[in-house]
Structures are given as structure tokens and as C-alpha cells.
Structure 1
Amino acid sequence: MSEPDSQSQEQIAVVLPDGSELEVDADATVEDCAYEIGPGLGRDTVAGKLDGDLVAKEAPVYDGVDLEIVTDQSDEYLDVMRHSASHCLAQAVERLYDEDEVKLAIGPPTDEGFYYDFDNLDIDEEDLADLEEEIEEIVAEDYEIEREDVSIEEAEKRLADEPYKLELLEEFADENDTVSFYKQGEWEDLCAGPHVDSTGEIGVVKLLEIAGAYWRGDEENPMQTRIYGTAFENESDLEAFLERKEAAEERDHRKIGNEMNLFSIQDVTGPGLPLYHPPGKTVLKELEDFVENLNEDAGYDYVETPHVFKTDLWHRSGHYENYADDMFIFDVGDDEFGLKPMNCPGHAAIFQDQSWSYRDLPIRYAENGKVYRKEQRGELSGLSRVWAFTIDDGHLFIRPDQIEREVEGIMDMITDVLDTFDLEYEMALATRPEKSVGSDEIWEEAEEQLENVLEKRNLDYDLEEGDGAFYGPKIDFAFEDAIGRSWDGPTVQLDFNMPERFDLSYVGEDNDEHRPVMIHRALYGSYERFFMMLIEHYEGRFPLWLAPEQVRVLPISDDNLGYAHRVANEFDAFRVEVDGRDSTLERKIRAAHDDRVPYQIIVGDDEEEDGNISVRDRFEDQEYDVEIDAFRSHLEREVEEQRTQPDFLQD
């Protein structure tokens, strides 16, 4: 903590979490502010948050900034500790490998731990144990983690043998006269922080895996070695994490997708371009039909837009200036075209093509629109991050006085979707950011109407001030899967920007032209991401209405094969298969279980003689002497009601 100046200094005010203001000297740091609040808090300060950004405790504050103090009791403490753990990993690597050959890149914390990237590091999974042991030594040594601010010239000398750090330094030098290094024992690194005070404050560290990663995520750059790890304050938290990780790996949609023949992403067709096999497309078609029924009931008209547009459209919509680097752009003759990264400009162009009266509104368009975004190859992952994906898009063009009613209708559709899949969810209202378009009046009215919808329904929600899109406020949904992971879900977004850019209008009751409000909404988000989540949420054991194969008929012997096919014909309204292989019943049952088929119908001599069936479910319960009509009626109800689990034998 800096010594107070006996002479009067210029004062500034920082805003604390409770909304109160704290006056401090103009050159005060986060730590200085903490000491002003109280000496105990000052001693406990690990880092700070300035306008939501995590910074070192040595970071200067500025007038009007929202300040939060981070201690070891804060949620952000784990991020700080993990950042320090990444430094311990790099220090361990340089101790065990040739530090003159190995080159350091970056090592940030992540949601689940940390990683560090290295160049010229020859290492495999078997070497991680030795690195972990060395990290434990560094933690046990309890080195003080010291911050030092140095000039750009001094930094260049220290980093003379680190080309990747020098590249980062060039960027820092454009905005700063000095940069910070963090030192622990014999090792130091260019880093902005924050970090814990000593290596001894790092709890338990576990190295997880090795992967390849392009420098700066650019496939034109060298491929580096990335080591992933995690850190927790104690062993019990680490064990709980590893158990969740193991459960997640068992549910990995790429593994299950291969086992169930749902989809593939092949080198010959290109990265991030999924191919849906018949079973996978069956699930997607059911998801599409579900949303299309909701859209039809809610008065949406389906439209269709092409996969590619002239870039004139993207200039008008503003996507070109913001998304050009993430778009697939190409020339055809003298014209430039781009694969669409979003569907909304096409829908705005359709609306613009006609004249509208206030009586015509709201206009509701829907499209299962394929879009394309050029993600970095290193970021592509199964169906969770792809180049080509489909959005269950909806865009509404409405009068300002219709906002509340239309948002209520969309909320009904969203909750119908989430309740159908029995997903727990949370909501957040995101309000006007600092940079935005539209008048104060329309923003205030829009935010108030979104808030009214949430309040009228007595819904719990978080208020995320300033987190709205620049074009309008929004309500975001996040839902939780079967093992407690949170996923970004549906959204309702108001847009005052697109109508301006496309000069959209309608004739009001006063015979003057007025600007409509545009609503963007998605009930799933993208089909790919939602499908991926469902695969992992259900571990491939889809509800009956979604299952690629709903019923499998298992004849006990070849003598019963004819009866098995006659039984299958009784269930031709469902997705039914007959296992006619020359195999034992036990193997057929095991295969149906491994294929995650909701129901198995078993037929043998007794069933054939009585004209009935035996039914076995995926929970391995079985009932004998079941009437065919009774089971068919149950299946019809289970599908119609979209139940989340087979429940014939649980009735």
C-alpha cells in the first residue's frame, strides 16, 4: 500500500457494490481503496474488479469506476489462484526441459482450470506426472509472487529469447509506458496478473491433458503444445471436479454420436461441417416439427432465405464491419458475396419489400435457417462449435406498444420448450450498454416492458445492467443439464438498429410513417448446440418421441421371426426394427440396451400362441402377457405427451 501524501491531492470517486461512493486520491490503486474501506479488507485483498474486469490489486482506479474487492472468499479467487498455477506449470516445464529451447506463449485461467502454451516442447501424457510432482515442489517452496513494473526497453532485454512474449510486448507498448512482470523464485513472466501472494497459497493442482493449439488461434501460425490443468483450494473440491469430468466424458456427444450413428465430421468434407446420418436426422426432424408446431400456433409465417448474399446486404446490416473476419467471402465476377452468418438481414429485406399499415403488425417470420461462421479450426469441437449450423430463427416486426404482448407470447413458447425437456433454467434481463442506438425514451419503454413481463409472471431473474446488445435490451435463458452444467439457451432480443439500417416503416393510425421494433428470438438457439446438449443430457437415451429407434422386436428363436414381423407391423406408426440375427436372446437384449432403444418387445412360443407380447424397457424391467393394443395405446400417449422417460412399466 502506498504511503498517503501529507499534502492535498486531487480526489476521485469510485462506486462500491452497494452503490455508495468512496473518495480516494487520484493515483489510488485497488488495494489503496480496500485499505480506505478497512485495514482488514486491505490485508485480505487479492485482486479487484474494475467495471467487471478482473485486475491486479496494484491496478489504478479511475473516477466513476465500479469497484469490487476480491478476497479469498470471492468467487473470482479461484481464477486468480489458477492463473498462478499456470505460472507454476511454466516454471516446472523450464526446470525439467531445456529452457533455452522451450519458448513460452500464454497461460490464462479458464472456466474449469488453466492452460499454458509452449513452443518446442516434446512431451506426452506420461510426462504429466513428473510435471505435477515438480509443481508440488514449487508450491511447497512457498515462493513469494512479486510484481515488478518495468520500462518497455527493460522488458525487451528480459524477453530477448522469448519471441512470443516479444510479440505480446509490442501490443502492450502501443498503450503503456511500462509493463508488469511476476517473479517466483528463479522464474519470471511477462503478465498483467492478478496473482495470489505466494505459491504456497495454491491449493492442489492436477494436469489433465495435452493438446495442440495454434499461436493466437490462427491456423497460419505455428502449432504449439498446450497443457491443460486445473487447481482447487482442497482435495475434496478437486475430487468432485474429476468425478464431474469423468461423467461429462462418458456423456461426450462425439463419443455417443459415433456409437449411435447420429452424425460425423469428416476430413474429406471439411472441418466444422457436420453430416447427419439417418438416426441423427430423425432426432433433428422431431425437434424441427416440435418448433414448427409452436410457430404455427403462435401465428408465424415461414420464409426462406438463400445461403449466400451479395455483401451489399451485409454492409447495410452492419455485419460486414463487425463479422467480415468470421464470414466466408468470395468473388463472383465483379461482385462480392458472403455466406450468411445470420438470418435477420434477409428477414428485414423481406419485410422491406412490402408496404405495411399499423393494422398489419405484428409480422412474424420464422425460418430454420442454415448459417455459416468461420471459426478458427482450433476452436471447432463436435457440434458445439461448427462452421455450418441451423438456427430456429424467428423475427417479429411490431409497433412499440406491442412489445410486452409479443414478448409474453415468446416467453410462453420458450418455457414450453424448456419444460418439455424438463430443464431447470434461470433468466436475466440485460439492459442498455454504454454504446447503443435508439432514443432514451424507446430504451426506457422497452426495458420497462421486458421487466413487466418478468414481474407479472412472478419470475426470478438477474438484472445484468449494461449487458444488453447495442441494438436493444434482451432476456436471456440459461439452463442446467443432468450433471449440473450450465448452457446458454433461448433468447428474446429487441432491436432498434436493423429497422434503422433497412429504413423499415409502417403507416400509423396518424397516416405518418413510423419505425417498427424488431424482435429476434430463438427457442433452441442453434439446432446443433441444442442437439449436442440433449445427447449429453440424456446420455443418448432420448425420450421415446425423439428416439431414432423407438421399439425393437426380439424373436427368441428363428421359429418366432415371422410372428416378430407381424408384431412389428402392428407398430408401423412408430420407428420399429426387428432383430432377426442368428443370436441368443441375451445378446439381442444387450445390443438393444447398448443402442439405447427405449422399448424392447420380446416374442417367443408362448407369446405367439397367446397372440400377445412381453415388453422390456431401458431400465431392464419386463412385463409378460401384454396385449398389443394396450401397449400401442401407451406408446401413442407417451409420444403425444412428449414424456421425458419411457414409463410403461412404471405406470
Structure 2
Amino acid sequence: MSEPEPEANSQERIAVVLPDGSELEVDADATVEDCAYEIGPGLGSDTVAGKLDGDLVAKEEPVYDSAELEIITDDGGEEYLRVMRHSASHCLAQAVERLYDAEEVKLAIGPPTDEGFYYDFDNLDVDEDDLEEIEAEMEEIVEADYEIEREDVSIEEAEERLEDEPYKLELLSEFADENDQVSFYRQGEWEDLCAGPHVDSTGEIGAVKLLEIAGAYWRGDEENEMQTRIYGTAFEDESDLEEFLERKREAEKRDHRRIGNDMNLFSIQDVTGPGLPLYHPPGKTVLKELEDFVEDLNQDAGYDYVETPHVFKTDLWHRSGHYENYADDMFIFDVGDDEFGLKPMNCPGHAAIFQDQSWSYRDLPIRYAENGKVYRKEQRGELSGLSRVWAFTIDDGHLFVRPDQIEQEVEEIMGMITDVLETFDLEYEMALATRPEKSVGSDEIWERAEDQLRSVLEDHGHEYEIEEGDGAFYGPKIDFAFEDAIGRSWDGPTVQLDFNMPERFDLSYVGEDNEEHRPVMIHRALYGSYERFFMMLIEHFEGKFPLWLAPEQVRVLPISDENLEYAREIAAEFDDFRVEVDDRDSTLERKIRAAHDDRVPYQIIVGDNEEEAGNISVRDRFEDQEYDVEIEAFKEHLEDERDEQRPQPDFLQD
């Protein structure tokens, strides 16, 4: 008997996976919005966008079989905010083309960001003084409440619409490789090539604010044209916007570049090159304290210090896998017939040191440490103070361990990291970063490595998030993120498991069975990098470092020139500390103000009364003061405060 013919109106069905793990069966050509209506008409009408397998997409986007689907509504969440900000970037471009010559100005890209949005323009001559006028035009567009309409068109029609927009045409050529159609979004008289998603109308965009103008290379490539980038932000209401602006003002007050200049900590000069910081004596003092702190932790944990050169033949980088995965970020040059590269990481050098000896299972774990300077060729437009540089130093550690030692060693490293973060009173979170798209090694090796780290986290009861695809190219890692004093999150310490480097360098040890075995390599950094951690500390403490870190710990202030000799005698009493005498011909009030502005933790004030009594007056950075202080009592307190690495001066805070 033959199979019955299918009905003419039958439709292939697929299933999508909802956040609760249940499956929703829909027609094969269903969109995100269709799925929302299948769940319920209320959800359907509230749908703004969706997430398919974690990617934010327009509500008109087709779903596919087994896709993980999340519906985004106007509930005020972070994803909705990104959609609204994307629409705000379109309002910005529309306002610019209204105010300036639309025939001359060329549009590039305008995505949302974590804190707002931007749009890049070519051939646009504006400065900060013009932002107010552009912002006012944006507000008129929002007030007009234009419907934001999506239209899908053929590649050929898109080319006609964009014939005068060279940057959009370049983007279109990339879309054309994967699509028969592309989408435009129109609001009023203005339209843009865009995949979305967007809110339904400009009136749904809340409070907007333009923030600054910067230069940006097209596609982030310094070989391309420099364009004008206008940054802005948008929130659902004015109160949220004002809260953000207040945080931004606080962040600007704490900007490490300004404080670094005020305190003479570091400089980055044109004559030395971009992203290459110079540390002045006060800045190096702080760095040396940070180095000593880590070296004490390493010594207690059984690390041996090694040193590797700044440059290696690229044979090493081919062997380690960096050349094929990291060459674009390396400084590479020829010397005679050989090719060399400045090291972007310290790990291959440490693997080469381990390889140079024979090892028994009894010798492991081997723990190497190095404050190693590395170099990475960031785009010039991405360089910013100490947060992103070409040359930086990692408090690197690499361990070579037996498989049965992994859990204990990783847990001990995590203990060292928490010691560091808790010393600075930083709240932190952990995340397991898994295999990225660009990586080396087999699926089996990666699964094994990820399972090992997951077991450490779970066996010891650590709470953690999963960061899909954020691992290093050679292995998964546990990342620590921490918050500073004004609630900003920073990436910092990390511990990484690596089964690939030992394979590439053919590392081995002789086991108890007298056979050769492959060690496991563990990468770890307790700060991440000195530069970024130093930057964070400057902003976290607003330059008001704890006593143990402060470049100048105590300043002695003689009330008059007659007390100068006694001030020098007092300074000699505190010669175990970083102490200075303010011997300028100035009033005491000005000396106090100067010490406060220089963020010195403590001031010792001496005048006729102190000199006659043989004691001192003490003033702290909180502007509290105590008279008739015994010299030995204050010295003992300073020793305790320094040695215990207390986060704030506390002599007068009881």
C-alpha cells in the first residue's frame, strides 16, 4: 500500500528550547515573535527582541531547530537596554545628517556598548561644543515618536540604496556572502542598513546624553581612515541617567591618568612610543611593594624564580602555537636570516626551562615564577593609560604537575589569589572560561581540562559562572573578577590548566613505573598584570594608598624655621618609613594642604610645644589630629599598620 500524499497545507515543524529547558514546537519558518505569540498573546505583543543561542537578534529573526530561545521584552533588563541604546545610535546618526551635509557625511557603524552607544562618521567636522545641538536634535526625534520599521530587501536593491555610502557597501559585501537578503530600519525620513534589533518607535527611547567625541580607525585598523566617533548613552528615565552621570563624574575624578600625573607616578610620552609607560620614582615605589608582596607569597608556596629574555626566535612561538594563533598581536622582526619576536607571554620560556632537565615523579610539582615583561601589539586607538599598553609585566607563575596533583595545586593557587584580593578589601567573583573558537589541542584534551577545573570549583564549594569561549587558546581557565570602590568590575587574577604546551614541547617526567609520563602545565597570575592592577588600585583608592603602598608614608611639618632641626630629628626617628620633611618657607596651613593634596597618609606636626615636650602631633589624611603623641607609640602603630597591610590609616580612627 502506498503512503498517503501529505496535505497541501501541512507545515514542517521544529522545536526550540526555552529558558526553563522545555521545548516549544513551532512552524519551520517561525520567527522569534511568532514563538512568543505561541507562548502567549501578551508575551507576543510585548516582545522587543530575542536571544538565539545567546546572540541578541531582532524579533523578526527566524528560529531554527534545537535553538535555545529567550524572549526579550521591555522589562528594563540589560538586554532591553542594549536594544534601546542601539535605537538611540540611529537617532544620533539621523540627527547628524539633519544638521550637517548628508551628502558629504558618510555613515560607518553605530552599535550599543555596555554603557551606551556610539556612531562613527567619516567627513564630519565637529567638536565637543557641537554635542549640545546634536543632542537637542536627537531629543526632537525621540519626541516625534517615529515608528521604527524593518524592511528586508535583496542584495541588489541594498546596493542601489547605499551607492553613496562606501562603508555600508563594504559591510554589505560581507553580508552578501551569507545572505540573499539584508535588512534596513527606517524612522521618519532616515534609514540605515542594520540587522537590529530595535525598539518599535523612537518615542520608546528614554533619556539620552551625548558624552564625548573621539577618533577611531575604520574597522579598528590603523591603516584605515580615521573617523569621528561620537559616544552617548541612554536610559529608560532621567533618574537612571543622572545616576550613571554621577558615577561617570566620580570615575573621572579617579582617572588614573590624571592622578598618575598629579602624584608623579608614571608617564607615557610621545618620544618613547605609545603604550610604553615610564615609571617615575613614586610609581616604582608602589610597584616594588606589590612585587615584594607577591614574592613573599611565592616563597611561602615553594616557587623558584626564573628569568627569560624579552625576545626569542620565532621557532619557539611556532612550537608553542603562539605564531599561528597570536602572530597578529606580536612584534616580529628579522635579524639576518632569522626571525625573532618580542614575547607576548612568558609560558613558552618556562616550558623550555623545564624541558632542559630530566625529572622524576618525586620532583613534581615544579613551580616557576617570574615578573616577566611581555609585549602585545594592541591597536593604537585602543591604548589607554595603564589599562591597555604595549609593554606590561605579569606576575607569572607556571607549574608542572602530575595529574594527581592538579586539584591540590589549583586550590592552593586560588588561596593565594584570594589572599591578594582580600588584602585590598576587594569583592570578587569566579568564572570558568571554556574553549574559544581559535584554539589548539584535541576535543578530548579540552574536555579533560575543563572537567578538572570544574571539579576543583565544585568540590570546594566555590560559586562560579560559565564564560563560554573565553578560555586561552591553549586551555580553559578560572578567572577572578573584582569590584572597585565605585562598583566597577575588573578582570584580574587567573589560573589556567594546559595539557597542550607539554605536548608541543614534548615535556615528560619518569613515573613510579619507570615509564615516561606527560606533566600538566598550570598557568597562574595573582594580579593579572602589574599595569592593570596598579591602574585599578590608583582609581580604587583615588591615589590615597594604604600606608604600606604609599610612595610617601609620613611627612614632617615644622611650624616655623626654628623647629626645622627638631623636624629632621623626628624624621630620623622614622627612617624605617618613607618620610619627608617639608622645609619650605610657607605657612603651616599651606603645608598641611600640600600634604593632603599629595595624599600622604600621615603628617607629623612639630612646633615649640612638641619640641619642648619631646613629642609630636599627628594628623591623618582624614584631617583628624591628635596632640602630645609619644614618638615610640606612633612608631609602633605605623609598624603594625604597615606590616598588617591595613587598607586605611587608622591611628586616629578608634
SS at match of 2:168: helix
SS at match of 2:199: coil
The answer for unaligned runs of 5 or more in structure 2 is 1-6
How many Å separate the matches in 1 of 2:327 and 2:413?
A: 31
Partner of 2:575, secondary structure, is coil
Contact 1:403-1:446 within 8 A present in 2 as well: no
Work out the CA distance in 2 between the residues paired with 1:357 and 1:49. Answer: 52
Give 1:461 deviation, angstroms.
Answer: 2.2
Matched residues in 2 for 1:167 and 1:432: separation? 31
Equivalent residue in structure 2 for 1:329, among 329, 332, 336: 332
Partner letter of residue 476 of structure 1? D
Residue identity matched to 1:581: R
Partner of 1:91: 94
1:372 correspondence with 2:375:
yes
Which is worse superposed, 224-233 or 425-434?
A: 425-434
Of 11, 14, 17, the match for 1:15: 17
In the alignment, is residue 123 of structure 1 matched against residue 126 of structure 2?
yes
SS at match of 1:137: helix
Q: What corresponds to 2:602 in structure 1?
A: 599
Q: 1:13 to 1:438 in 2, by over 3 A?
A: farther
Q: What's the CA shift for 1:460? A: 2.6
Identify the residue that residue 253 of structure 1 maps to in structure 2.
256
* Structure 1 residue 536, shift from structure 2 partner: 0.2
Tell me what 1:497 maps to: 500
- 8 A contact 2:213–2:230 mirrored in 1: yes
Once the two structures are superposed, residues 557-596 of structure 1 have per-residue CA deviations (whole angstroms, 9 ceiling, x without a partner) of 0111111111100111100000000000000000000000
Letter in 2 for 1:12: I
Q: Out of 196, 200, 205, which is 2:199 matched to?
A: 196
Q: Is the 8 A contact 2:321 2:440 kept in 1?
A: no
Equivalent residues of 2:372, 2:393 under 8 A apart: yes
Q: Distance in 1 between matches of 2:183 and 2:543?
A: 49
Contact 1:429 1:462 (8 Å CA) reproduced: yes
Q: 35, 55, 66: which one pairs with 2:68?
A: 66
Question: CA 1:305/1:336 → structure 2, altered by over 3 Å: closer, same or farther?
Answer: same
Q: d(CA) in 1 for partners of 2:556 and 2:376? A: 43
**2:342 paired residue among 333, 339, 343:** 339
SS in 2 for 1:630: helix
Report the counterpart of residue 44 of structure 1 in structure 2. 46
**Shift, 1:448, TM fit:** 4.7
**Conservation of the 8 A alpha-carbon contact between 2:325 and 2:439:** no
Matched AA of 1:317 = S
Q: Tell me, what secondary structure is at the counterpart of 2:14?
A: strand
Pairs within 5 Å for 1:480-495: 480-495=483-498
* 1:634 paired to 2:637: yes
Structure 1 partner of 2:302: 299
How many residues were matched structurally?
647
State the TM-score, normalized to the length of structure 2.
0.96
- Give the whole-Å Cα distance in 1 for the aligned partners of 2:239 and 2:282: 41
**Aligned mates of 1:161, 1:437 — CA distance in 2:** 43
- Contact 1:348 1:499 (C-alpha < 8 Å) held by counterparts: yes
Structure 1 partner of 2:429 = 426
Q: How does 1:180-259 map to 2 (within 5 A)?
A: 180-259=183-262
Given that 2:449 and 2:498 are in contact with CA atoms closer than 8 Å, whether structure 1 keeps it comes out as: no
1:443 Cα offset (Å) = 5.4
Q: Secondary structure at the match of 1:95?
A: helix
Q: TM-score, normalised by structure 1?
A: 0.96
Q: Hey, what's the Cα distance between the residues in 2 that align with 1:411 and 1:6?
A: 63
Note the residue ranges of structure 1 that are not aligned, 5 or more in a row.
none
- Distance in 1 (alpha carbons) for counterparts of 2:597 and 2:530: 25
Match of 1:154 in 2: 157
Deviations 1:536-569 (A, max 9, x none): 0000000000000000000000111111111100
**Distance change in 2, residues 1:607/1:574 (3 Å):** same
Q: Which residue of structure 2 aligns with residue 25 of structure 1? A: 27
Q: What is the match of residue 453 of structure 1?
A: 456
- The one-letter amino acid of 1:64's match is S
Q: 1:532 offset after TM fit, Å?
A: 0.3
Alignment check: 8 A CA contact 1:116 1:227 kept: yes
Return the alpha-carbon distance in structure 2 between the equivalents of residues 76 and 265 of structure 1: 37
Q: 1:223 to 1:430 in 2, by over 3 A?
A: closer
Distance across 1 between alignment mates of 2:449 and 2:323 = 27
CA separation in 1, counterparts of 2:267 and 2:430? 33
1:166 matched to 2:163 = no
- 1: CA distance, partners of 2:232 / 2:147: 22
Whether the 8 Å contact between 1:437 and 1:496 is mirrored in structure 2 is: no
Kindly state the Cα deviation for residue 47 of structure 1 after the two structures are TM-superposed.
1.2
1:35–1:510 distance in 2 versus 1, CA, 3 Å: farther
2: CA distance, partners of 1:270 / 1:434:
33
Percent same amino acid among aligned pairs?
88
Give the alignment partner of residue 547 of structure 1, picking from 532, 550, 553.
550
Q: 3-state DSSP class of the match of 2:78? A: coil
* Cα distance in 1, alignment partners of residues 445 and 227 from structure 2: 49
Counterpart residue identity of residue 27, structure 1: D
SS in 1 for 2:528: strand
Task: Indicate if the aligned counterparts of 1:432 and 1:472 stay in contact, CA closer than 8 A.
Answer: yes
1:584 aligns with 2:593: no
Number of the residue aligned with 1:54: 56
Structure 2 Cα separation of the partners of residues 322 and 12 of structure 1: 38
Structure 1 SS opposite 2:361:
coil
CA distance in structure 1 between the aligned counterparts of 2:14 and 2:506, rounded to whole angstroms: 44
Structure 1's 468 and 174: CA in aligned 2 closer, same or farther, altered over 3 A?
same
Question: In structure 1, what residue type is equivalent to 2:376?
Answer: R
Aligned counterparts, 1:396-435, within 5 A: 396-431=399-434
What SS is found at the alignment partner of 2:527?
strand
Single out whichever of 38-47 and 462-471 deviates more from structure 2: 462-471
Q: What's the secondary structure of 2:513's corresponding residue?
A: coil
- In the other structure, the counterpart of 1:527 is 530
- CA deviation vs aligned residue, 1:433-470 (integer Å, no higher than 9, x gap): 68866677765665454344334543332244565445
Matches of 2:513 and 2:167, distance apart in 1: 64
In 2: Cα distance, 1:135 partner to 1:311 partner = 52
Does the 8 A contact of 1:34 with 1:45 survive in 2? yes
2:623 partner letter = E
**Could you give the per-residue CA deviations for residues 581-617 of structure 1, whole angstroms, max 9, x where no partner exists?**
0000000000000000000000111111111111000
Measure, in 2, the Cα distance between the counterparts of 1:38 and 1:504: 59
Alignment-derived partner of residue 137 in structure 1: 140
1:326 and 1:546 mapped to 2: Cα distance? 33
Return the letter of the residue paired with 1:557: S
Contact 2:449/2:499, CA 8 A, preserved across alignment: no
Does the 8 Å contact 2:325/2:438 carry over to 1? no
Q: Specify the alignment match of 1:574 in structure 2.
A: 577
1:650 aligns to 2:631 (yes or no):
no
Which deviates more from structure 2 when the two are superposed, residues 610-619 or residues 7-16? 7-16
**Inter-partner Cα distance in structure 1 for 2:154 and 2:551:** 63
Give, in whole Å, the separation in 1 of the partners of 2:156 and 2:194: 16
Q: Which amino acid aligns with 1:131?
A: I
Which one is further off, 377-386 or 67-76?
Answer: 67-76
Residue in 2 that maps onto 1:388: 391
